Structure formats: structure tokens, C-alpha cells
Amino acid sequence: MPASETPYAELHVTSNFTFLTGASQPDELAAHAATLGHRAIAITDRNTLAGIVRAHVAAKQSGIQLIVGCCVELCEPTPQSVLVYPTDRAAYGRLCQLLTLGKRRAQKGECRLALHDLIEHAEGLLAVVIPPKIIDDGFIDVLLGLNRIFTNDRLSLAAARTYTQNDTQRLHQIAAVAEHTAVPMVATNNVHYHIPERRQLQDVLTCIRHGCTIEQAGFRLHAHAERHLKPPSEMARLFAEYPSAIARTVEIATRAAGFSLDQLRYEYPDEIVPKGTTPMDHLIELTWAGAAGRYPFGVTDNVRAQIEHELRLIDDLRYAPYFLTVHDLVRFAVSRGILCQGRGAAANSAVCYCLGITAVDPDRVNVLFERFISKERDEPPDIDIDFEHERREEVIQYIYGKYGRDRAALTAEVISYRGRSAIRDVGKAMGLSLDLVDQLAKELDWWNDNPDNVQRLKSLGLNPNDPHLARVMSLARQLMGFPRHLSQHVGGFVITRTPLCELVPIENAAMDNRTVIEWDKDDIDALGMLKVDCLGLGMLTCIRKCFALVDQHEGKSFTLATIPAEDPDTYDMICKADTVGVFQIESRAQMSMLPRLRPRCYYDLVIEVAIVRPGPIQGDMVHPYLRRRNNKEPIVYVSPEIEKVLGRTLGVPLFQEQAMSLAVVAAGFTPGEADQLRRAMAAWKRSGKEIFRFERKLIDGMLARGHTAEFANQVFTQISGFSGYGFPESHAASFALLVYASCWLKRHHPAAFAAALINSQPMGFYQPAQIIRDAQEHGVEVRPVDVNFSAWDCTLQPTANGPAIRLGMRMVGGLPKVEAERVIGAVAQHGRALSVASLRRRGAVRASALRLLAEADAFGSMGLTRQRALWEVQALKDGDAPLFDGLDESGVDHGGMDNVLSLPSIPAHTEVSHDYHAVGLSLKAHPISFLREQLAAVGITVNAALTDEARTPRGTRISVAGIVLVRQRPGTASGIVFMTLEDETGIANLIVRPQVFERFRRAARHSRMIVCEGTIERAGEVVHVLARSIRGIDAPGAEVPAMSRDFH
Amino acid sequence: MYLPTWASDLATRRSRLDRTHAVLLSHLDHQREAVGSCCAVALRAGVHPGMTLTHARALLPPNRTHVEPLDVEGNARSLRRFGAWMIRFVPTLAVDPPDGLWLDATGCERLYGGLDRLINRMQRAVKRLGIATGLAAAPTWGAAWAIARFGSGPAVNLDPNVLQSTLAPLPIAALRIDETTQAKLHRVGIERIRHLLDLPRTSLADRYGDELLMRLDQALGQAVESIVPIRPRAPIVAERLFDGPTDQTETIQLVARELLVQVAALLAARQCGCRVLELTLLRSDLDPLILTVQTARPTCDGRHLWTLARPKVESAHLGFGVEGVRAQARAMARLSHEQHTAWEEDRQATPTDVLGRLVDTLVARLGTDRVLRIAPVESHRPERSFEFERVASIDHKPRAGTIPAPSLIDADRPSLLLPRPIRIDATFLVPDGPIARLDIRRDSQRIIASIGPERIEGEWWRGASRARDYFKVQTESGRCLWVYREVGTGRDQVREQWFMHGEWA
């Protein structure tokens, strides 16, 4: 019988969102069911709807009906699985409520539901009961009970071929039960994967779930590969004796068609609008009020026209509530003194500037609001708000407080298997030793099938043709991209007017006080729901702290908007790449670009932020841009439309928006198609291939419009280069503002900036040691941690030559804040402490805290060296109640201060090494300086010599040494590793080719101090040493802790 | 005596590796495999205990590196045995796990003509075993320990007066103090014993406890320290020599039997049972003949031992005659205590006892490789769902992680499984219908009933194999057969092949 003549719908499908059980993606299942000619397909994951949106999108594309469903596992009174399918919007809401109920009362990732819970939410749901292995009277009672609840013929009894010996009997038995209870029987195939070839992967998943190897798994594995989607004709053959069971599937599918995810209508919350006014009126009022504040000398006609235009567009699209929601969060943050800054598509509008969402003056960037909100794309505009990272939690709790936990929740983030995690889990399941699995995970490049892997396998002593190993590799590759668990998105909030739990199930997050919905941002996007991203940004914390320090010590108060704009001194500093610690343009790659790009205005910074990204680099846009900027290449535009798109960036597309506009202008894409292109670019990492769907269309479109094939290919290369890494202009504009602010602070208030930067750690690219060193080079005095002078944070102390930085106790490794505060409190109350014992008595400080302070050499003001201080502290016991310490005035201090002690002397390099271990830096000397004599003796140059072109011209052979600060292997540099070395005179930038890296792997990968021999390369002010050999010089007794940021 | 690479030396010996091989002994440390101990070759390559195995491997040539798990208990047992072996040099010694021995050489030097010569001899003997040593002699245990590990020379004979100056330059680790104390001392720059000697004792005690001072005093001979020597246990052996060679089997048997009863009594006194027993016939013109008897459970029943030994003695080649007989328990195990009753006849052998004796008897008659039993294996594949294993001992606990095979509890499996499936031909009346007829080795059977199919896929991780559809069929004559058809994977309908795999008896 041809497939089309046997209508069948698969109703029991476990996708890989039932983690470590299903072995196919929801979209694979939906697409394959469509190919096989199923009438419909349900996705019924265990106690979750997490994969349903993806299935919905895929089903729509392949033109098959998706039945929204879920396999509800009841644990009381007896374990029982029931498949449920909502028939209308209300029933779907009840299903979400049911799952939320079960999840909220269980731990993260679990769900506890009882039979009576299901009964309470049964209205409007179709149910299919899955019979247990042994059908007994208890089960029949449950079935009869459910039958009374699921009235109106809504209950069915599932029957599946198990391919065991007694299949026929079992089907008979189920049929008999169905007859006896008057619950119709329905055929399913209990699908776990879309094609039988996935059985191996499913077996491996079972092993991962049970934590066993494939050899040990035994009966936990399925005996056969029959749990795949079968053609309707085959299902009809298998249930030839029960045709009504096949017909029942279609009946259920038809009734379940009453609900589709398309019916979910998102509704904005309404409390952001005061009573008696509409959101739009309120927004207009707020905008003009804000405009008056932003433009104290009156709003220019230009700006007025812009604002009016934007407001009209917002009104047309009814986005006013969205802007009001964002504005409300910003207003809250400002009222608490939390620094924040909006970015993203809609953020850089005049309206947002007036509302205080962004500090980017629309006059300074050429914003076309339609680029960010288009009428064709009927989806909410995108605004992310960055808050100070240390205070973001306050904002999050404000959202929960304002809208309630039933209406606001974080979106989920689907954590998927990536190369390393996949090979780890598959390798373990396949019985490889932990050791080998580790090696494979570390050594191999899992992102692509590159031939390098074969070489690497050989170098590990493995045979790449070994069938077992080949199987492991192919299974790991299949597993990549599978969801592993749900986590919470960093800050994406969904806020609704009606209870959220009627829209999507909510579960507890791993973190206390957090609730998370089951869908991730793509799902939310696909359904057109509002999401506000509240992200944490360390630089905002730093800038706020810096403002506070400047205010406190110099009496000048600034905000992001009042920092003097376009300051030439600041740009001079940027052009010299003197940007350690500032926002974004501090990385090695950015710093080598700065002298070439020479930014002189705000928009140059926008470009600088966006250009050093894998997208523009892979699309080969950097060099053409630089050539044109330096007038070495003429700027030509193929057509005036293209000039309009690319004019700002000298004809080279640098931003994601430009890529999209280019597709519209040059290839005749509709804005909707351009948006699909954008999605394909974003999904690059996940699927990898999608972008090529657009290749033909784009190139044909461009040829049809009279462009040359060469130009068309070039544009496509550029666009595909953006995939996954493209940087939108809207984000770059917001970032550039912070770049400028941080640079300005660094230029004009270096001490405050360095102190604020350290007080906001951990963040950014550099360790405190480098920040302090940089501050010292800018003439800032830095004073060590001291119990009598330091606060918890780094502070500024006035001196004749401007403020000096006093390092704070937060630098002391492992010191708890409460203990530090006791010390600070004791000093504040009783004045300067003169001995360790008195400090301990006055402040009730724990001996362990004093020990940490002693290790940090923080007793200098008492005249104690680190060694003496430690000796004193070692006599104190933590167990002693300080109360009795106070009574015992004589103290336990036998080895007291005035005893003549003959402690061995400690060499200076050891002191420095101890400084590094305890505080992360040393103000005494640079570790390399102790080796300098030996290094000089073998002809090793100081790094400072590199800046002197006369001494070290291009091509000179040179040897340099230093502590490794950074190791980077950018994905765009074909395996080249960039390393930065620091010695007492400066830094040296190394370029290490893969062959050299492999040859000197041990030193190159692990050593903390190295000597590198190589040739000098110069390009303008940028100096590199092209490494030829690398040698570790980790001297005993002078070890420094690992301080480099490796491969991030 | 310090054994710097004891664990890896043992591994080298056990695996008969040559000296250029690097040996790494791994142990699991916080979910990662780390190097627990390694040999001198590896140390020279930069490996040190505590680094991850992956890192260590990267430093060594892959084909000349041997890795095995570190067996701490086994190494300690070997250390005891090694200690017992060393008794040939000095009478009193103690083990100092994990890697040392204390040897009390007081008075022994005279026997060897000087301490140096004793040390030389010991060093040479141990070196022949392939074990690296550091030896030192000193007036105190502590000093000897310190010098053996941290001293410069191989052996020093010390005058108590120069003890202090010898110890002073050694690192503080030589004092046998815990790592926390060592770290604390390092923090204030105290690296060597000399530094400690310069500091006031009270300050030291306040900061680092009495242990440090005690160790210092013990090393310097200002505090006593004693060792607990190991005492080798006497072997359990009984021997009888005849007046002259005899070839009278009855006499030999009588004596052998008597000796076994004696051995059994010695075992019972030690509350041990014998697992391996050697009966040696000292033959006049030939090498001694050693007859070995193994038991599945430890036993101290002389009669039972004789039952096992008797057939061997009966069939022994005696040559011109036997001059004597010796019985010795080679391997022993502790016996569980049993409540004795007043009347010996009341005591009934437990089923395990009886089974143990049966197994012993069968093994004694047939040989160890011929007494096997079936153990269930978790596998869907019928021919892999069990395995034969040798019956070494019937006391052993069930293997961890196994669950009873459902072939015993759930699915219907034939009582007879053919060692190899037989090719058969099947005939159907209608396509896709029930089996009508099977031809098994030219014997055609009409089938009156069949149950199935039960689909069992191959174990793909063992290589490619095809899925099978099993049927339980009943023939006209009443036989119940288990037959299957091979199915191509990927549903390609190749020509079906039929096999018979078992029968219900």
C-alpha cells in the first residue's frame, strides 16, 4: 500500500531534549516524519516542552503538523507515564502550569508529579496512557480512574511493538484491556531517533546516562534498532490486526490540531503605564521630558524631526510598552546609582538617548532608525542593557519584585555538547581510559574534520585507522550539538502581562532565588516574545568606581554623558596603543591595530571596536579598509545605493547591518530575507551549513542587477565571514562610548583609573600586576598593602605629585572580607597598631587572616619584614578565643619582638616570588631582573630595546626573555600563537608559528618564564618577534605563579 | 635502607621490563589520573609524582612507557616480604612503609668484617634484585633515615660526636615531619636543620608543636626511639625420613597421610586453612618430586587433603625408591570461626563445604582447566549471554555491578544452546506469513506453531554483525526449536538466511 493511503501520525516521540535518552534533534524528527509522509508528528519529551519550539519551526518549514505534547511521568501513587496533548490554548496553559508545579517542587532538572496533579489539570488535554511492563489490576484501576476524568473520549491506551518474543501476546493483552475498560487502543512506535543508524548513538547516550561503558551496559541498552520513525505503511503492516489503533492516531492528531504554538500571543506588562494614560502617550511625555534634559539649550530641528519620526514608527508598531519596560529598569538603576548603558539594535535611537537608556548622542552616529526597527520584521526591537557586574543582582531582584515570579523569569540557555565534552563522554562510554580521553579532548581540533587530526592521533601513539577509535570519533561528531542540560541565560528576562507559567513551563535554577523558563533566546525569538537582556559589564563597575574616586579626591564629578568629548590628548594616547586596562581596545590584536588605524574621532572608535573581530578578518576587510583610510587605494562605489550603505566605512562592509543592507540593495533581498540571512549567520556555529543556502540567491541576485561576478563573490565571502562573529554597528557604537570614557579616565586620572580597575577585578584582559606596572609607568606612585594604611579596596592617597595608589587588602590572596574589615576597624578605632599581637587583640582577628596578611608583607609599618611577621603569626593559634587572649596581657609571644632571633636571611628573588604568590605582584623588583646578569651574559636583550628602531631594525636576530602574560591562539590565525612577554623594562610581543610551537611545546605551552630567540618584524610602530626557538627558565626559588591568560 | 623507587622497581620486575623503560604508576586524584609514583627514567625526563598522567606521558616516548595503577597495599605486602628476605643480613629489622626498612646492625659488623662491607654486600644483593637503594648507617634511627634519603654519600659510619654537624646541612624534610610543618618552616625561610638548631626551643615548640622537637632529638640521639621488628613465621611443614629408600607404596602412603594430618593440626592451631599444599617425595636417584594440591576453600581437614593427594601419590613415579616425605602448606588463608558442638557427629557439613570438597576432588582428578562453571553475562546476544570460568575458589563474592541475567528470569530461552548455529532452510506458504516447514540437515519438519519474531541486533561495538529475528517454533513431532533469520541492517532485503540455534528439551 503506498504511504499516502495509510494515514498515520506518530504520537510517542522522545527527542534529545529528554537529555541523554533521545538520539535525534526535534527538527530532524519533524523533517523526517514529513519525508515519510506522516499525517502529523508529536514531540513528547519527558516532563518538558524545551524542544517544542524548534520542532514547531522545523515542522512549519517541512509542512507537517506538529502536535504539541509531553510525556508526563507520574511518581505517585505508582510510577506511570502518560502522554498528553493540549487541544486548545487554555489546555496548553494548564499543561504548562502542571509542569511548572512539578518542577518548582523538585530540584533543578527534575519534576515531581502525582496522579491527582494530572487530574486537576486534565481539562482540554488528550491523554495516552503507556502500559507498564507487567499489566496488573493496579494499572487497570488507574486506567479506569483516568477514564472517568478524561471524559469525551479523550483517553487512549498506547500499544507499541517491542520486538520481543511475546509481542503478539502483549498486543492481544493490551487490546483486551482496551476492550474491557472501553479505552481505545492507539498505535505508537515509541520513537527515540529518526533513522535506525542513530541506534549506536542512542546506546552511547544510555551509557553516558548510567555512567557505565558500552561493555558494562548490558540490558540497559535496547536489543535492537527499531525505535526509529517508520513509514505509515510499515506501521499499518505491524498493526494489521488492529487497524483501529492506526486510525486512532489520526483522530488524536486531528483533535490536537486545535492548538498550535502560533496561537501564543505575547502581551506586554501594563504596570509600566500610569493609570489613565496609554503607553504611547506616556512614552511621548517621557521622551520630551528627557529631551529637555539632554538638550538644555533647546532641541534642534534636526533632532526634533528625528524624535518625531521614531515615535511615529514606535506607535505604528505598538512598541511603546517595550521602550517603557526598558526605561523603567534604567530609571531604577539610576535611582540606585548603578551605572548602566543600553546597546543593541534599537538602543542608539534618539528616543533612547532622551530616555537615558543610552549615552550615545544620535547626533554623533549616523543612525537610521529603520535599520534597527523595520516594519517588515514584526518582532520586538532588541535592546540589551549592561549594568555594573557587581550590582546586576539588584536589578534582577527588582524585576522579580515588580512583576512577581509568576510573570518574570530568566530565559534558559541550552548547554550543548561541544567538541571536547562530546569526545570526553563518548570516549568514556566506549571504554577508553580517562587518560586517553583527556589527551584526545585536549589535542584534537574538534570543530572540523581537519587532516591535522590524523597527524595528532599518530603523535599520541594511536592508530587513526583503528575501527574502535574511528567509531569513537564519528559518534563524538554526531553527538556535537546535542543538548546536554538547560542552564540559565546570563540575563535574558521574559516579562508578561498574564502568568508566565501559562505560556511556558518554569523551573528552578541552580542558583537560589532564580527561576528559569524552558526556552532559550532563539525559541523566544521564534515566537516573537519580549525579552530584556540585563547583562553584567565589569567596565561599568570600574567607571563608576573611578568617577567616585575622582569625585572624592579631586572634587570633580562626571557622568558618562558629561565626560569632555573628542579630547585630542585621549586620542593621542589611543594612537600610541597605550591602552592597558581600558575597555575593548586593550587586547593584543586591538593594540596592534591602533597605530595603524589611528582613531581621531568617536566614529573611528566604533570602527576600531568592530574591525578587530573574526568576521571582518576572515572576510578580508581589514586591509582594504586600512589602505583606503591611508589613501593608498581609491574608494570606488559600484552604485550610489551601495555608496549609501558603505559610505561610512569607505566602501568596505564592516558591520552586520551593512551586510544585510547590501543583500537588500545589491541582490534584491526583501528585508525579511535579509533577516533570515542574519539568522543563518548567527546560527553558523550550530549548524554550519545554513549560510550556503543563500549563496546562490545572493550571487544570482547581484549578477541580475548588473554587478560583476567578481564583486558578487567578494560580497558573499565578506558576508559569510560575518557568520557567528559579525559585530553589529549598534553594539559597537555603545561599546565605543565606554571605550572613550575609559580611555579618557586613564589619560587624565591614571591613578584613580588603575585603582578602580583593580577594585573591579576580576575583569578584562590584564592582571593587577600589569595594571599596576602600567600605572607606575605613567608616573603614579604605588604603595604596598599595609595593615595600618590599607582599606579593603585600593585607595588613593594624596602626595605632592598627585594621588598615589595604596593597594587594598582585596589583593591579599584568600583573605576574607570580614577579617580584613576587622583589621580596618581596629586601626580606625584604636589608631595605628604597633605589634601583631596588639592588632589581634584589638580587632579579634583570626590568626589565619593575620597569616595571610603576613604572607602579603603587610606589616611593614610595624617594622616587620615578611619573615618576622610570619614568625610572629605562627605563634598564634586559631583555636584560641581572642577573649582570653585579651586577658593574658603577657601574651604567648615567647619569641617576642625584642628577642634576638637568628632566622636565616631570605634572598631578594625569593621575596619577590613570595610577593607574587601572596598579592599577585611585587613592588620590589621584577622577577626577571634577578636573572638579568645571566641573561645578559648569553646575549639576551631587554625588551625595551625593541622600541628603538635604530638598534633593532627589521630582520635583526634577537633573544628576549620575560614572564608570559598572554598566550592566544585566535581562530582566524591558522594555528599561530601570540604570546606576550614582560621583563623589567617592558613587553615583547611574540608570534609563534605552529611548527615552532609544536617543537618547543613544553616551554611554549607551560613555562611561566621563557627565553625566546627570533627575528624582528616591524610594521610602523608595531614590533613583533617571530619566534624561532623557545626555552623555559623557571628558576628554582624564584617561581612566579601562572599569571598568563591562556587561549581565551 | 631507603628504596627510592620501590613501587616502580616492583612493576619493572613484575612486567620484566628492561631498564630503559619509563614506568608510571597512576592513581586517581580528584577525578583525574595522576602519577602516584614513577621510576628514575621518568624522573630524569621531568616527571614528578602528582602531575597528571597526560602531562607525564607527553614527556616520555610513547612506546617505551609502561603505565599501571599504583597498588599501595600490594607494595606494602611486598615490602614486608622483602624485609623478611633481608633477615639473612641482620636479625632485627622493621618495615618503614611505603619505601624504607630499618635494619639493626648492632653487633653484626663483626660478622662481616666491618660495617662498610656489610653495607656493600647488602647493596650488591639488592641491586641484583633490580631494586634501587639508599643505605646509611648512623647511631640513631632518625639520623640513618635522614642520611639515607638526603645525605651525599652512599653509606656513612658515624661517630655520635659528629652527628650534629652531619645533619645540620640537610633539609628539614629529613626530620620526618609532616608537610604542613615543613611548609610553615619554609615560609619563614627555615630550610635546613642548621637553621632550627639556631633557634630557641621554646619558640619552636610554640609554633610547630612538640613533634618537631621530638624528631630533632631522636635524630640527634637525645630522645629514644624504638622499632617494631618483623618476625617471620615458621613455615608449616612436616617431614619424615625413612631408614633407607623404599618403594613400598603402602608405606609411603601411610607416612604421607600421617604428615598431612600433622600439617592439618598445625594449621588448625594457627586458625588457618590450606589453599595450596605441597607434598614432596625425596627420591633417591631422581630430583625430589613435588605434588601440588589446591583447594577451592581453605581447609584444615587432613582427611580431605589426603583424598586430594592420594591419587597423585598413587600414580607417582618413585624411581629406585623414596628416602623421605615432606608436606608443606604453601598458601594459607584464615578460617572462619565455627562453633564446635560437644559431639562431633552432630556437626554437619555446610553445602558450601560439600561443594568445595566436590570441586577439590574433581580438580584433583581432572586438572584445574577442566572444572568450569557458567557465569551469566549481560548481553542481548544469546551466545554472549554466559561465559565459562575456571573454579579457582568458590568463596569469592559476586562481581560488582552485575545483575542477574534476564535469560534466567524473564525471556524464554532454550535449555540447549547449540555451540554454533546450524544453517537451515525455511519454507513459507504465504509471503510474510508463518513458517510452514524447516529443513534441518536434510530432515524436513512441518511446523505447527511459531512465536516471534524477537529481534536482536548485533553488538556494534564489537564490529559489524547482522540483526537476527528469533522464532520459537514447534514441529509436528513436538520438538520446540529456536531458529532465527538474519536481517540486513538498514532494512535492505537481502536473501534471508535461516539458522537453528537451540532447542527446548
DSSP B301-340: -HHHHHHHHHHHHHT---TT-EEEEEEEEEEEEEPPP-PP
A468 touches chain B (CB under 8 A): yes
Answer yes or no: are the C-beta atoms of B157 and B114 closer than 8 Å: no
Give me the residue from A435, A468, A906 closest to B54, CB to CB: A435
Q: What is the largest CA-CA distance in chain A?
A: 104
Of B346 and A164, the structure prediction assigns the larger pLDDT to: A164
Euclidean distance between CA atoms B83 and B102, whole angstroms: 9
Euclidean distance between CA atoms A321 and A333, whole angstroms: 18
Q: Is B471 helix (H, G, I), strand (E, B) or coil?
A: strand
| Residue A25 pLDDT class (50, 70, 90 cuts) | very high
Residue of B nearest to A164 (CA): B454
Min Cα separation B426/chain A (Å): 19
User: Cβ separation of A165 and B454 shorter than 8 Å?
Assistant: yes
| Residue A1039 pLDDT class (50, 70, 90 cuts) | low
Residue of B nearest to A436 (CA): B54
B66 touches chain A (CB under 8 A): no
Q: Which residues lie below 8 Å from residue A305, measured CB to CB, with a gap of 6+?
A: none
Please report, for residues A765, A792, A822, A892, B345, the alpha-carbon distance to residue A839 in angstroms, rounded to integers and kept in the order given: 37, 16, 10, 14, 82
- DSSP H or E run through A491: strand A483-495
Residue of A nearest to B491 (CA): A196
Residue A886 reports pLDDT greater than 60: no
List pLDDT tens digits, range A116-129. Answer: 999 999 999 999 99
Q: Is B235 helix (H, G, I), strand (E, B) or coil?
A: coil
User: Cβ separation of A905 and B189 shorter than 8 Å?
Assistant: yes
- What is the average per-residue pLDDT within A196-207? 93
In the numeric block, the cell 542552564 is attached to A487
Identity of the residue numbered A627? R
Q: Please work out, in degrees rounded to the nearest 5, the angle formed at the alpha carbon of residue A151 by the alpha carbons of A147 and A153.
A: 90
**pLDDT given for residue A853 in this prediction:** 92
Residues in A 809-868 with any Cβ partner in B closer than 8 A? 855, 867
**pLDDT given for residue B488 in this prediction:** 65
Residue B345 reports pLDDT greater than 60: no
**pLDDT given for residue A724 in this prediction:** 55
A195 touches chain B (CB under 8 A): no
Euclidean distance between CA atoms A1011 and A870, whole angstroms: 34
Whether cis (ω within 30° of 0) applies to the bond prior to B98 is yes
Min Cα separation A847/chain B (Å): 12
Please report, for residues A71, A122, A181, A765, the alpha-carbon distance to residue A156 in angstroms, rounded to integers and kept in the order given: 14, 14, 10, 60
| Residue A682 pLDDT class (50, 70, 90 cuts) | low
**pLDDT given for residue A881 in this prediction:** 46
Backbone angles phi and psi of B477, in degrees to 5? -80, 0
User: Cβ separation of B189 and A867 shorter than 8 Å?
Assistant: yes
A434 touches chain B (CB under 8 A): yes
- What is the average per-residue pLDDT within A873-882? 68
Euclidean distance between CA atoms B103 and B83, whole angstroms: 9
In the numeric block, the cell 621584577 is attached to A926
**pLDDT given for residue A87 in this prediction:** 94
* Range with the poorest average pLDDT among A169-173, A980-984, B283-287, B429-433: B429-433
User: Cβ separation of B188 and A874 shorter than 8 Å?
Assistant: yes
A197 touches chain B (CB under 8 A): yes
User: Cβ separation of A435 and B379 shorter than 8 Å?
Assistant: no
In the numeric block, the cell 533577516 is attached to A675
* Range with the poorest average pLDDT among A454-458, A628-632, A1035-1039, B327-331: A1035-1039
Residues in B 73-92 with any Cβ partner in A closer than 8 A? none
User: Listing from the earlier edge strand, what are the strands of the sheet with A795-799?
Assistant: A782-783, A802-806, A795-799
Length of chain B: 505
Give me the residue from B184, B191, B451 closest to A874, CB to CB: B184
DSSP string for residues in A943-998: GGGGG-TTTS-TT-EEEEEEEEEEEE--TTSTT-EEEEEE-SS-EEEEEE-HHHHH
Neighbours of A233 (CB within 10 A): 17
Euclidean distance between CA atoms A930 and A908, whole angstroms: 8
A252: left (phi over 0), alpha (psi -120 to 50) or beta: alpha
Min Cα separation B398/chain A (Å): 15
Answer yes or no: are the C-beta atoms of A475 and A201 closer than 8 Å: yes
User: Cβ separation of B452 and A165 shorter than 8 Å?
Assistant: yes
- What is the average per-residue pLDDT within B407-429? 81
Residue to substitute from A162, A167, A224, interface B, most B β-carbons within 10 A? A224
Residue A1047 reports pLDDT greater than 70: no
Euclidean distance between CA atoms A751 and A1034, whole angstroms: 32
Residues in A 140-169 with any Cβ partner in B closer than 8 A? 163-168
Min Cα separation A833/chain B (Å): 22
**pLDDT given for residue B110 in this prediction:** 84
User: Cβ separation of A903 and B199 shorter than 8 Å?
Assistant: yes
Under DSSP, the state recorded for A83 is: E
Residues in A 392-431 with any Cβ partner in B closer than 8 A? 430
Min Cα separation A103/chain B (Å): 31
Min Cα separation B246/chain A (Å): 58
Give me the residue from A904, A1001, A1002 closest to B190, CB to CB: A904
Q: Please work out, in degrees rounded to the nearest 5, the angle formed at the alpha carbon of residue A119 by the alpha carbons of A113 and A123.
A: 125
Residue to substitute from A435, A443, A868, A911, interface B, most B β-carbons within 10 A? A435
Residue of A nearest to B53 (CA): A435
Min Cα separation B294/chain A (Å): 32
Beta partners for A1046?
A967
Q: Which three cell numbers stand for residue A414?
A: 541550552
Chain A residues with CB under 8 Å of B26 CB are 435
Euclidean distance between CA atoms A204 and A214, whole angstroms: 7
Helix intervals (H) in A356-451 = 369-372, 392-403, 419-429, 434-443
Please report, for residues A528, B85, B230, the alpha-carbon distance to residue B227 in angstroms, rounded to integers and kept in the order given: 80, 18, 9
B203 touches chain A (CB under 8 A): yes
Q: Which residue, A953, A951, A963, is CA-closest to A987?
A: A963
Chain B residues with CB under 8 Å of A904 CB are 189-192, 195
The per-residue pLDDT of chain A, averaged, comes to 84
Answer yes or no: are the C-beta atoms of A621 and A722 closer than 8 Å: no
Percent with pLDDT over 70 in chain A = 90
Euclidean distance between CA atoms A587 and A978, whole angstroms: 11
User: Cβ separation of A875 and B207 shorter than 8 Å?
Assistant: yes
Residue A947 reports pLDDT greater than 70: yes
Q: Which residue, A468, A426, A358, is CA-closest to A201?
A: A426
Residue of A nearest to B62 (CA): A461
- What is the average per-residue pLDDT within A973-999? 85
Residue of B nearest to A458 (CA): B62
**pLDDT given for residue A885 in this prediction:** 44
User: Cβ separation of B206 and A203 shorter than 8 Å?
Assistant: no
The answer to whether ipTM exceeds 0.85 is no
A447 touches chain B (CB under 8 A): no
Residue A707 reports pLDDT greater than 50: yes
The per-residue pLDDT of chain B, averaged, comes to 84
Chain A residues with CB under 8 Å of B33 CB are 433-435, 438
Give rounded-to-5 percent helix, strand, coil for chain A. 50, 15, 40
**pLDDT given for residue A888 in this prediction:** 41
In the numeric block, the cell 621530638 is attached to B214
User: Cβ separation of A1002 and B59 shorter than 8 Å?
Assistant: yes
Give me the residue from B62, B192, B457 closest to A225, CB to CB: B457
Answer yes or no: are the C-beta atoms of A439 and B57 closer than 8 Å: yes
Q: Which three cell numbers stand for residue A232?
A: 505509515
Q: Is A464 helix (H, G, I), strand (E, B) or coil?
A: coil
Q: Which of A246-250, A606-610, A799-803, A893-897 has the highest mean pLDDT?
A: A246-250
Q: Which residue, A344, A417, A1029, is CA-closest to A685?
A: A417
| Residue A937 pLDDT class (50, 70, 90 cuts) | confident
Neighbours of B244 (CB within 10 A): 8
Q: Which residues lie below 8 Å from residue A214, measured CB to CB, with a gap of 6+?
A: A203, A204, A207, A221, A429, A430, A431, B461
List pLDDT tens digits, range A717-730. Answer: 777 766 556 677 77
CB pairs under 8 A between A and B: 129
Percent with pLDDT over 70 in chain B = 90
Of B210 and A463, the structure prediction assigns the larger pLDDT to: B210
Residue to substitute from B47, B60, B65, B187, interface A, most A β-carbons within 10 A? B187
* Range with the poorest average pLDDT among A887-901, B245-259, B448-462: A887-901
A513 touches chain B (CB under 8 A): no
Residue of A nearest to B190 (CA): A904
* Range with the poorest average pLDDT among A399-408, B154-163, B316-325: B154-163
**pLDDT given for residue B355 in this prediction:** 81
Residues in B 208-227 with any Cβ partner in A closer than 8 A? 208
Residue of A nearest to B433 (CA): A237
Residue A657 reports pLDDT greater than 80: no
Q: Which residues lie below 8 Å from residue A436, measured CB to CB, with a gap of 6+?
A: A427, A460, A462
Chain B residues with CB under 8 Å of A998 CB are none
Beta partners for B480?
B474, B504
A312 touches chain B (CB under 8 A): no
Q: Which three cell numbers stand for residue A886?
A: 585579651
